[in-house]
Structure 1
Amino acid sequence: MTQTGANMRAAPRFTLLIRVAKLTLDDVEVLCILRDASATGAKVRLFAPLPAHRRLVLELANGERFAAKVVWQAGDNAGLQFDEPVAVERLIDEVGTGSGRRQVRLRVNLEGVLHSGGEAVPVRFHDLSQQGAHISGEKWLLVNELVRVETPGGPQGGAQGGSRAIYAKVRWRNHPNYGLVFEQTFRLEELARFVAALQEPEDKAGKAAPMGKAG
């Protein structure tokens, strides 16, 4: 049943500590921060304008998912209305049934270069978080091997969009897929704005378009 604006305002709201989450808008994923919530909706902080979409899902770090729609936007904030009322405890419980705190991962389709054993080989990034990434490539890597990856225009690419080395260790492997843990974590806003730029149309994104497709 659709909740009216009055019903949404009447529902008890809980101000949260910062909860990192993501919004899935059709096939696009963007980072956000869950600021407060009630059984009928939530307020989130955004890092970039939301793309046009037909379907929106809020996903917490613990994997909980809630279908919703945007009912207002003001600056970097937006109000969401859940399709169905939810138990607020599900929104407050950051860990949920898992064994520990999880990082929010964003699906990407991003090309890069990996340096290992004196070789520079192409790789593809399939997801990114503040602490690591899932990549694939033809080169065989060792678990715990220290590697260097470059992503032109990436989160640490600098103001001019140039590439910058990111050092990481191989956490797991299932060739040709590998999980990396970064030696230095990204700031949340840095990662959020970079991934948001990847979603922009190429004629708007320019150098921020999906890597490997420019030039």
Structure 2
Amino acid sequence: MGLQRTTATRGQRHFNRLRLGVPAALIFTHGRVACLIDDISCTGARLRSARAVPVGQTAQLAFHELRALATVRWVRGTNCGLEFDRPLAIEKMQDMLWINENRALYDRIAETGHARDWADGIGD
């Protein structure tokens, strides 16, 4: 399975979206909101957040090594859509595709990393 451009049939989507379901965070100037990335493309993402976030706010999406500046474009309850300020590099999307296709291994690597950070006094 590769990443490719598609023709939009509804809305303004032009790129394939990867379904992830991975924990991440939205970082605002006034705080941090835990979320799940339901799906992501080069130009945006659909999230489920721990609480509603304001439309029009700028935030940083933080997941694994990804840090992407984005604007909240729509909100429905605790679901929201982000539009990235700049399209994500194809390498970032390939990293996410790898995570999607190797979920068990990624989860094991993430757990080990969190445990190491905690032991080193870096984690929360």
Give the TM-score normalised by structure 1: 0.45
- The reply to whether residue 186 of structure 1 matches residue 88 of structure 2 is yes
Q: Following the alignment from structure 1 to structure 2, what is the Cα–Cα distance between the partners of residues 128 and 177?
A: 13
Q: Is the 8 A contact 1:112 1:151 kept in 2?
A: yes
- Structure of greater relative contact order (alpha carbons < 8 Å, 6+ residues apart): 2
SS of the aligned residue for 2:14 comes to coil
For residues 193 and 126 of structure 1, do their structure 2 counterparts lie closer, same or farther at Cα, with a shift above 3 Å needed?
same
Q: Following the alignment from structure 1 to structure 2, what is the Cα–Cα distance between the partners of residues 99 and 194?
A: 24
- 1:31 maps to what in 2? 2
| Alpha-carbon displacement from aligned partner over 1:173-201 (angstroms, at most 9, x marks no partner) | 10100000011211224302322233215
Tell me which stretches of 4 or more aligned residues in structure 1 moved more than 6 Å. Answer: none
**Which of 174, 192, 215 does residue 76 from structure 2 map onto?**
174
**Unaligned runs of at least 5 residues, structure 2:** 115-124
Specify the structure having the higher radius of gyration (Cα). 1
Q: Following the alignment from structure 1 to structure 2, what is the Cα–Cα distance between the partners of residues 186 and 107?
A: 16
Paired amino acid for 1:108: L
SS of the aligned residue for 1:120 comes to strand
- 1:139 maps to what in 2? 51
Q: Is the 8 A contact 2:42 2:93 kept in 1?
A: yes
**Which of 197, 200, 209 does residue 99 from structure 2 map onto?**
197
**Unaligned runs of at least 5 residues, structure 1:** 1-29, 34-59, 62-93, 158-163
Q: Following the alignment from structure 1 to structure 2, what is the Cα–Cα distance between the partners of residues 100 and 180?
A: 13
Give the TM-score normalised by structure 2: 0.73
- 1:68 maps to what in 2? none
- 2:118 maps to what in 1? none
User: Which structure: greater helix fraction?
Assistant: 2
- The reply to whether residue 151 of structure 1 matches residue 60 of structure 2 is no
Q: Is the 8 A contact 1:198 1:210 kept in 2?
A: no
Paired amino acid for 1:125: I
Paired amino acid for 1:113: A
Q: CA RMSD in A?
A: 2.7
- 2:33 maps to what in 1? 121
Paired amino acid for 2:21: N
For residues 146 and 196 of structure 1, do their structure 2 counterparts lie closer, same or farther at Cα, with a shift above 3 Å needed?
same
| Alpha-carbon displacement from aligned partner over 1:125-162 (angstroms, at most 9, x marks no partner) | 0001000000011232221110112102xxxx2xxxxx
SS of the aligned residue for 1:136 comes to strand
SS of the aligned residue for 1:143 comes to coil
SS of the aligned residue for 2:99 comes to helix
User: Which structure: greater strand fraction?
Assistant: 1
Q: Following the alignment from structure 2 to structure 1, what is the Cα–Cα distance between the partners of residues 15 and 107?
A: 23
1:210 Cα offset (Å): 4.4
